[in-house]
Structure 1
Amino acid sequence: MGLILAKADYFPSEAMPVSVADRAPQPSFPPHRHEFSEIVIVWRGNGLHVLNDRPWLVTCGDLFYIQHSDCHSYESVNDLVLDNILYCPERFRLGLDWSQLLPLDDADYRAHWRLTTRGMALARGVIVQLEQESRKTDLLSMQLAEALFLQLALILRRHRYVAERAGELPEGEQLDLLMSAIQASTARPFDLAAFCQHNRLSERALKQLFRQQTGMTIGHYLRQLQLCQAKYLLRNTDLLIGEVAFRCGFDDSNYFSAVFTRETGFTPSAWRQRFERTSKPQPLPEQQK
């Protein structure tokens, strides 16, 4: 089960619907659940976010909707800076249909998105105000906090996109375009020079921007994405090691095994054997087939 974080420790009163917990930086944190729901926005740095046993490599622009039933943790963090926006839907008083903006007890919701550069800038300004109001306990502050949270939810709804679907990217800037292209290329080599030429971007400037915002090189980011995908497939499917390697962008299964072992300390087979299955392997998500 892990830790359970209580509402009383994070909200100033039993009536306040929203609270902000900034993590600058976010340390490694063991598996835990909440008595509340949470939105996670990553501002910079990188790390491993494990959500319901699935590892996600996170960096600037990553966005997660965490429900109270979810279990998550942070590992291998490197100057990871994020905001946790905590909320209790049962305390909302505006009388809105929040289901169009937030996952409310929906088992099929999508937890992971990415936020455009423009969306990050807009969200940051609202969160600063929200953090100030959510510390207070008077009625007007509680109403204003909920109104600011609504504004934030609308910004996220407008500017979020599915990472691996470049066609769904709204108002993309160069870093957004690059992130989307990389995440769509985990099963094949990524040609940065061709990408820059197609989008009329400076390869050198883009490399510098990426390193500045994420703390990683483009190559390291792609490799870590591939390894996260491999961990998920090894744990949740019966695919042969060679098939896992191929789906994660490795043409040579021996080379894949060597890289996986070097990065994790386990061979692919040993990693798989660490986890006992209590049910049949899960079907692959649509984007991974």
Structure 2
Amino acid sequence: MANQLVLHKADFFASDAQAVAVADRYPQNVFAEHTHDFCELVLVWRGNGLHVLNERPYRITRGDLFYIRAEDKHSYTSVNDLVLQNIIYCPERLKLNLQWEEAIPGFNGTQWQPHWRLTSAGMTQARQVISQLEHESQQRCPLANGMAELLFGQLVMILKRHRYATDNLPATSSETLLDKLITALAGSLEHPFALDEFCAREACSERVLRQQFRAQTGMTINQYLRQIRVCHAQYLLQHSRLMIGEIAMQCGFEDSNYFSVVFTRETGMTPSQWRHLNHRND
């Protein structure tokens, strides 16, 4: 694309020797589609927004984690108090002999799975390391770059230890209710979700959980579930030849007419219109 926005190393790194830096987004505003000549890790701390990565939409909120390669196209839209941090790095500048390929999906051509969730425990540990990393990356002493790279190595190992597939949280009692709830919502795309049954199973207050969810994400539980279903529908409309009714069923809508109403309200166009504008013949 001739007018593609490209973010360059020279604008984000203090020198040609610096391998890692931190780019805060407090908050993350709407940002046009772009690529980079560096890579980044994206960690979402609060709020919500629509993250479009290589034309695939993701409704993001607290705990979402992305591994972005230099060539990936992404943008942010429909943001609501979205707070995130970008840990930016240049693979060719890393000097430590660590097994980066095993810790960072997509590193130098390894298998890429861009979207993960991070447990609350992992978020706490990551915050602490990122704070130190940000401090070191701003120093100008001779050892700063080496210290920053050591901290970056610690961070990617923390992320590897505590990340999980969006719909498959490890079954440990230590994970918070919000972790469990968001995972349950992501795993219920094809069938109804009963919050009362979830709360009974977890022995928690439905009212308190609703309040906690809204405080951390800026959305109600129903809004989040509806929007991740619409995002999944957009992906299927773009990349499959399924009928509209089949897509409605695969996104948890038993009534295709109601699906069309919800989809139109969320996107501003009908499913058929959206497919016509965006369908790819992959």
Once residues 168 and 24 of structure 2 are traced to their aligned partners in structure 1, the CA distance between those partners, rounded to angstroms, is 29
Does 2:245 correspond to 1:242?
A: yes
Once residues 254 and 32 of structure 2 are traced to their aligned partners in structure 1, the CA distance between those partners, rounded to angstroms, is 35
Residue 47 of structure 1 corresponds to 49
TM-aligned CA distance change 1:11 to 1:151, over 3 Å: same
| The one of 65, 68, 71 aligned to 2:70 | 68
Instruction: Out of 165-174 and 115-124, give the one that drifted further.
Output: 165-174
Aligned length: 279
* Residues 108-129 of structure 1: CA deviation (Å, up to 9, x unaligned): 3110000011111111111111
Instruction: Out of 167-176 and 34-43, give the one that drifted further.
Output: 167-176
Residue 258 of structure 1 corresponds to 261
Q: Note the C-alpha offset of 1:168.
A: 6.2
Q: What one-letter code is carried by the residue in structure 1 that aligns with 2:83? A: V
Once residues 244 and 276 of structure 1 are traced to their aligned partners in structure 2, the CA distance between those partners, rounded to angstroms, is 14
Does 2:205 correspond to 1:202?
A: yes
| The one of 103, 122, 125 aligned to 1:122 | 125
Determine helix, strand or coil for the equivalent of 2:88: strand
| The one of 20, 30, 36 aligned to 1:28 | 30
Q: Note the C-alpha offset of 1:107.
A: 6.0
Q: Note the C-alpha offset of 1:135.
A: 1.6
Residue 6 of structure 2 corresponds to 4
Does 2:134 correspond to 1:131?
A: yes
Once residues 238 and 98 of structure 1 are traced to their aligned partners in structure 2, the CA distance between those partners, rounded to angstroms, is 38
* Residues 206-250 of structure 1: CA deviation (Å, up to 9, x unaligned): 111101000001011000010000111111111100001000011
Q: What one-letter code is carried by the residue in structure 2 that aligns with 1:232? A: Y
TM-score, structure 1 normalization: 0.93
Residue 283 of structure 1 corresponds to none
Determine helix, strand or coil for the equivalent of 1:257: helix
| Aligned partners of 1:123 and 1:152 also within 8 Å | yes
TM-score, structure 2 normalization: 0.96
Mapping 1:59-208, distance limit 5 Å: 59-103=61-105, 104-106=107-109, 108-167=111-170, 171-208=174-211
Residue 19 of structure 2 corresponds to 17
What are the ranges of 5 or more consecutive residues in structure 2 without an aligned counterpart?
Answer: none
Residue 285 of structure 1 corresponds to none
TM-aligned CA distance change 1:276 to 1:210, over 3 Å: closer
Instruction: Out of 228-237 and 160-169, give the one that drifted further.
Output: 160-169
Q: Note the C-alpha offset of 1:188.
A: 1.0
| Aligned partners of 2:239 and 2:279 also within 8 Å | no
Aligned Cα RMSD in Å?
1.4
Once residues 139 and 147 of structure 1 are traced to their aligned partners in structure 2, the CA distance between those partners, rounded to angstroms, is 14
Instruction: Out of 224-233 and 102-111, give the one that drifted further.
Output: 102-111
Identical aligned pairs, as a percentage? 54
TM-aligned CA distance change 1:153 to 1:107, over 3 Å: closer
